[in-house]
Structure 1
Amino acid sequence: MLAKLFNSSELKKVAAGNFGIFHEIGDEFPELSEVIEMADFYDLAYSLLVKNYRNEYVVKNEIANKILLGRHSMNTTSMMSELRTGHNIADCLVVNGYSTCYEIKTEFDSLVRFQDQLSSYRKAYDKTYVVTHNSHIEHVLSIHDVSPIFGVIELTKRNQLKTVITAPISDEFDYDITFDTLRKPEYMFIAEQVLGDIPEMPNTKLYEYCKEAYQTLSEQNANAIFKNSLKKFRCNDHTFINALPKSLKNIGISYQLSRNEKNSLLCLLMNNASIELGDSDVLPILERKAS
């Protein structure tokens, strides 16, 4: 239930003024039952989630806080979530000078598909890490012993991202996998960089036209323009992310929120919106603590 508080559909409901989720959780968790301000509720709920149920949201949020915001400048770095890569979906990608994939394996996940995932990510990104729980470390290291082509990060009991093995730079690059990771505006941008203006043509021909342009590049140049295209079209909303509390940084990266939804959430969070609504599940008139 705590994890539900941080999912996309519930956040959209909150942005629309429906506060029912806070009542549901407050009824189940005594620690939260007396909290009446939204920002405080999220922060305390997140601390409970970190302590008791470190799911994928927690790991992505820690990557956002400790790697994107802790090590890099958002002016030169973009973080993306859920990228189609070959037959797999990459959990997290951080792109600056390098493209670094973070495949998350929580204590609740299986490692059954990890080697297939690793094969795809190595062909698309410069570096690949598995970010995992202590319960998986021994198994992950046994895979690394046989195939030392990825790095290992442990999410420790103290919620630190501890680098166990540094990821090497990949010596593989696959034009098909990287091109198919791109969306239409992204591969059109690449074709324009290579060939100039693109003539009018049906979408089916446009795809092949842009792909052929991409494949004329050397692997080094194709990789560079692939990363530049991702950074250009999937850049983060710096203002929104910077304004969010640490417990919610990942929502600014992983969720597709409209401008109105973003503004509504920030208004509620920054103005100490009250969630003490009696029997009502919907906030008809925004109540805020007087400043």
Structure 2
Amino acid sequence: MNYRQLAKIFTSSNISKVAAGDLELVQRITSEFPSLKAAQTLHDIFEESYKLLCKHYPNEYVVKNIIANNILLGTHSLNTASMLSELRIGSSKADCVIINGHSTCYEIKTKFDSLKRLPEQLLSYTSSFDKTYVVTHETHLAKLLEIHESMPKFGILILNERKQLSRKIEAPLNTNFDTDLMFHTLRKEEYTEIAKLIIGYIPSCSPTDLFSQCKEIFCNANNADANEYFKKVLKRYRKNDHNFVSRLPRSMKNLGISYNIHTKEKDSILFYLSRLNNLNKEMCNVLPIHEGQTV
């Protein structure tokens, strides 16, 4: 069975198609997997497909979804924590970062991934977050322990056969932050907010000078204070859509967190998940009632 093909139904591009009523990919894949043919709703299709991926093809989406369900929603709460996906730090992108009281980076290395860039990535992450974990498969453990011996600044989580995260090494708490590196992660509204928090106002100057002045303000702050400001603005400006995520099935929590989905698309996705009772082609062109009809 082509499980890599099955994984495509969880991609951002396909979710956009689903929101537009285009179920062609879902229909085609469903026809190729006998165990999916009995599903009566789109909700069931995603849930059953996810179970197959967990068992046969635990790719990055699966691992992120496990982190979303087991840590963000299981240990924390969307009321008090935010999960950021593909957060740029220097020349790298952190797979996911959960900000609660602490900022915790989770760098995912599935059994399909290489560890070639990992030491370079870890240098950035362990300088920017309170804690950093590498989430990996058992096959990478020996090599990871070698890396850890020379760089004991991160923890290790193993995804076991039951698709649970087992802590192999606890991540130490970082106290030495690279504020220059952290600043370049911030967007304009975030770094100006930090400047206002520190000096009481936003500097009045040209856009080019504003960047430089805000950077100077941030980097001159106490190391621990800069970290707190960093977490505060990221949590505020990049918070998750609690209402949308809570209404998605477990298999789709990560896409509700990680993908940039517009409000109308969210409404359409929820409509199809809750209303669709067959996957015939006529349904592909049916708009949700809130868009297609006037009540």
TM-score by length of 2: 0.93
Q: Which of 278, 284, 287 is the aligned partner of 2:286?
A: 284
- Report the equivalent of 1:189: 193
- Per the alignment, in what secondary structure is the counterpart of residue 46 of structure 1? helix
Unaligned runs of 5+ in 2: 290-295
Alignment check: 8 A CA contact 1:78 1:96 kept: yes
Change (3 A) 1:168 1:285: closer
| Structure 1 residue 199, shift from structure 2 partner | 4.3
Amino acid at match of 1:115: P
Most deviating of 228-237 and 201-210: 201-210
- Report the equivalent of 1:104: 108
Aligned-residue CA RMSD in angstroms? 1.5
- Report the equivalent of 2:82: 78
Alignment check: 8 A CA contact 2:193 2:202 kept: no
Amino acid at match of 2:106: Y
Q: Which of 5, 10, 15 is the aligned partner of 1:6?
A: 10
Alignment check: 8 A CA contact 2:21 2:286 kept: yes
Deviation track 1:61-96 (CA, whole Å, cap 9, x = no partner) reads: 000000000001222111110011011110010011
Alignment check: 8 A CA contact 2:83 2:96 kept: yes
**Number of aligned residue pairs:** 285
1:253-272 equivalences under 5 Å are: 253-271=257-275
Alignment check: 8 A CA contact 2:84 2:238 kept: yes
Amino acid at match of 1:274: N
Alignment check: 8 A CA contact 2:175 2:224 kept: no
- Aligned equivalents of 2:98, 2:199: Cα separation in 1: 28
Amino acid at match of 2:147: I
- Per the alignment, in what secondary structure is the counterpart of residue 184 of structure 2? helix
- Aligned equivalents of 2:10, 2:287: Cα separation in 1: 23
- Report the equivalent of 2:68: 64
- Report the equivalent of 1:21: 25
- Report the equivalent of 1:203: 207
Deviation track 1:231-274 (CA, whole Å, cap 9, x = no partner) reads: 01011111111111000000111100000011111122123x13
Change (3 A) 1:140 1:180: same
1:94-243 equivalences under 5 Å are: 94-243=98-247
Alignment check: 8 A CA contact 1:94 1:101 kept: yes
- Report the equivalent of 2:48: 44
In the alignment, structure 1 residue 55 sits paired with structure 2 residue 59 = yes
- Aligned equivalents of 2:100, 2:280: Cα separation in 1: 45
Deviation track 1:157-196 (CA, whole Å, cap 9, x = no partner) reads: 1100111111001132111110001111110110111122
Q: Which of 14, 26, 31 is the aligned partner of 2:35?
A: 31
Most deviating of 103-112 and 199-208: 199-208
In the alignment, structure 1 residue 274 sits paired with structure 2 residue 250 = no
- Aligned equivalents of 1:116, 1:131: Cα separation in 2: 16
Amino acid at match of 1:283: N
Alignment check: 8 A CA contact 2:137 2:158 kept: yes
Identity of aligned residues (%): 48
Amino acid at match of 2:166: K
- Report the equivalent of 2:256: 252
| Structure 1 residue 46, shift from structure 2 partner | 0.4
Most deviating of 170-179 and 221-230: 170-179
- Aligned equivalents of 2:248, 2:63: Cα separation in 1: 17
Runs of 4+ in 1 over 3 A off after TM superposition: none
- Aligned equivalents of 2:181, 2:112: Cα separation in 1: 28
Unaligned runs of 5+ in 1: none
